[in-house]
Amino acid sequence: MVSRIAVFVFIIIALAGTFDHARASSNVVCSWNNFIDEPLMGKPAIWLQGSEDAVITIDGSRVSDAAIDNATTWVVVLEKATGPAGFAVAVPVEQVDTTPEGYQLHLAIAEEVPVDLYDLTVSIQTGTYEASAQRRNAVKVIDSIKERFSIIHITDIHVGDPRGCLVNCAETAGRAFIRKMIHMVNLLDPEFAVITGDHVFGADYYREYAHLHEVLQEFDVPIFMSIGNHDAVNHAWSAPEVFLDGAAVFADMFAPLAFTMSYGPLSYFSLNSSDWSAVERTGVSFAMLAFGGQLGSAQLDRFEQQLNTTGADLILAGLHHPPQHNYAGEGVERFRSLASEHGVAAVLSGHTHGEEALEKDGVLYLTTASSMFSGHGGSYPAVRVLEIDDSEIVSWNYEEPQWSVPVYRGSGPHMPLRNLSEPALYCTFSPENDGSNATVTATLTNHLSTGYDDVSLEFAVPSPGTGGSYGISGGEVAGMYDTGTVQIWYVKTGIEAGEQKNIVIAPTGP
């Protein structure tokens, strides 16, 4: 009887959001008309300091072509995306090319632009027309392509999914589990993170995608997003003025349904394993006709062509449904053959909410546990850290044979999840790290069974007077930027397993 009541309550919660669209947050989705085609939040650009080949793509269908001519002024601004204090940097547009789809802006990135993650704003100014658009967390500026670095794999966040309340409602409510996961990822500071689908529940895209867009802004690392089945339900058939096709909104707000990116000698391929027709993706609430995996022939043709021309030393792929197992639809056998033939080193996936690390035909298949409270297969909220050295994956498990890094203290395989609340790795600041205090202590706590050498912190302190400066104890300075009123200090430190340590910034001069 109790189980039936729980199921009934779950269904009511899941369906209730489907019919409530009078929320202010829905404006993020229903008024979406952004003319910046790329870079995007889920397919950001990674630009080198001093680079002269940075490109922004503009969707011409969303600007007034009649008003744009040789006298048009294009203004590009990078604004620090996250952290204790902000600043903005204007980036000169060196050249504008007209394309069949719109425009390409070519930019030069000054050496002085700090290494950081940025929101991108593009403004168009003519005598008769003005427009502006912004993409959050769309640009990462770096100082070099690293030979040794890490990537973090995240999957199945499920914003708006009431199932997490059946396991740990306190952490599911208000999306606390997502924020704690993001905070940990920011501390670990990978070169980038990938999220392999099921970002939302799928019952109410107006609400869920707006909340997803909001919470993902807390990342301080670039993220590359692949679509999952919960992201792709097609509600458009029932009431077009109210419901949405999740796949279309995902592509507009976050990332193309399939794409590739490069980081030095690494190529990463994001694929759409919900490659069904709009009719086959028809659904009610979070359920659709075809929720299993499928990779269409056209998508795989492009994948094969790109593999033939990539020239990368390290090839990774990410998609939602685990391709080491058979799909409900077509294409998975061909995908496995292409991955093996072309030397794909690893394939990252989610969907099952469980963990798996399997080598098959020379390819490492890694399925990571959901970040939400699920408990499937003994799993726990987790992220997977992949260590790369000289174009080779040298580490991918937190614990053998398959387990990923837990987000919460006291979590592990087949352990209770209901009362978890304290993060496994986190940092607090005292007093407030908001640019108003000259001496700030960061207390870094690591409950994990492994240490980390490159934890990243940011301090915001008042700009010192003439001759004044600051010193750091407990860490090393990686960079500093002075806004004129506030200095932002970028600090790196290491922490041992089970250690708690203080990192302090304090004045050293007059």
- Reply yes or no on whether the pLDDT at 29 is more than 90: no
SS3 content of the chain, % helix, strand, coil (to 5): 20, 35, 40
Residue 434 tokens read as: 């908001």
d(CA 421, CA 440): 26
Element (H, E) at 262: strand 259-263
State whether CATH 2.60.40.10 applies to domain 32-142: yes
Q: What is the dihedral of CA 242, 248, 250, 252, to 10 degrees?
A: -100
Sheet holding 363-367, edge to edge: 259-263, 266-270, 314-318, 346-349, 363-367, 356-360
The separation between the first and the last C-alpha atoms of the chain, rounded to the nearest angstrom, is 72
DSSP 4: H
Q: Do domains 32-142 and 425-507 have the same CATH topology?
A: yes
User: Between residues 439 and 129, which one has the greater pLDDT?
Assistant: 439
CATH class of 425-507: mainly beta
pLDDT tens column, 334-363 = 999 999 999 999 999 999 999 999 999 999
Of 195, 135, 132, 192, whose CA–CA distance to 159 is shortest? 195
pLDDT tens column, 432-477 = 999 999 999 999 999 999 999 999 999 999 999 888 999 999 999 9
**17-24 mean pLDDT:** 38
Q: Are 284 and 277 in contact (CB under 8 A)?
A: no
Least confident of 148-152, 357-361, 375-379, 469-473: 375-379
Of 98, 122, 95, whose CA–CA distance to 106 is shortest? 95
Least confident of 248-257, 280-289, 393-402: 280-289
- Reply yes or no on whether the pLDDT at 23 is more than 60: no
The DSSP line for 420-441 is: --SBSEEEEEES--SSS-S-EE
Task: Provide the mean pLDDT of the chain.
Answer: 91
Sorted by where each begins, the domain ranges of the chain are: 2-28+145-406, 32-142, 425-507
State whether CATH 3.60.21.10 applies to domain 2-28+145-406: yes
> Can you give the pLDDT at residue 32?
61
> Can you give the pLDDT at residue 13?
44
Q: Are 204 and 18 in contact (CB under 8 A)?
A: yes
pLDDT tens column, 260-295 = 999 999 999 999 999 999 999 988 878 888 889 999
The DSSP line for 267-323 is: EEEE--SB---TTTTBEETTEES--S-B--HHHHHHHHHHHHH---SEEEEE-SS-T
